[in-house]
Structure 1
């Protein structure tokens, strides 16, 4: 397997507003916001950000383990021939994975 193009850690704030309504008694970070965390991580790398553009296509995404208040996430991105592959881990547990394809050029 190739070396990661990007590896970083992000912490989900315990007081994130999404936890108030998703779900009472068992707060979980919604999948859309987890994908937003991946996109924010990509923005820290100008070459990767330029490669996929402002609005990449989500080729697929799997959400495998819950993310809760205060969780620390390890985000790893691999640059592949047809896009970017990402993994999000919470501790040693794979919480999400997927593939992003470059934004289509408007003609």
Structure 2
């Protein structure tokens, strides 16, 4: 099963003044937090049931940019996650889940 969603981070998000002043980017932790929330909601999972196995950030995401999130099953309890700006990859991650839905 493959799924998609759009993520956006408004320019007034409280993470931007500290990350980085004068040249803000979306923190990797914020990207991953949003990925977990969206995937959990789509799959009917508890937030705590997913774990990030690995993550690599390839290109910065700026405030106000819309990010395309795509994920697919890649094995029992595993999800392959990819984030894009237009067609440019910005991050890849592997998520794992072994918990029952809430």
Q: Distance in 1 between matches of 2:98 and 2:17?
A: 33
Q: Distance in 1 between matches of 2:44 and 2:68?
A: 18
Q: After TM superposition, list the pairs within 5 Å mapping 1:63-82 onto structure 2.
A: 63-82=57-76
Q: Deviation of residue 44 (structure 1)?
A: 2.9
Query: Structure 1 residues 23 and 87, CA, compared in 2 at 3 Å: closer, same or farther?
Result: same
Do 1:13 and 1:69's aligned partners in 2 also have CA atoms closer than 8 Å? Answer: yes
Do 2:37 and 2:47's aligned partners in 1 also have CA atoms closer than 8 Å? Answer: no
Matched pairs, number: 99
Q: Deviation of residue 43 (structure 1)?
A: 2.8
Q: Which residue of 2 aligns with 1:25?
A: 22
Structure 2 unaligned residues grouped into runs of 5+:
none
C-alpha RMSD of the superposition: 2.0
Q: Distance in 2 between matches of 1:13 and 1:30?
A: 13
Do 2:15 and 2:26's aligned partners in 1 also have CA atoms closer than 8 Å? Answer: yes
Q: Deviation of residue 55 (structure 1)?
A: 3.5
Q: Deviation of residue 56 (structure 1)?
A: 2.1
Structure 1 unaligned residues grouped into runs of 5+:
none
Q: After TM superposition, list the pairs within 5 Å mapping 1:87-102 onto structure 2.
A: 87-102=82-97
Looking at secondary structure, tell me which structure has more strand per residue. 2
- Does residue 11 in structure 1 map to residue 5 in structure 2? no
Q: Deviation of residue 37 (structure 1)?
A: 1.3
Q: Distance in 2 between matches of 1:67 and 1:97?
A: 13
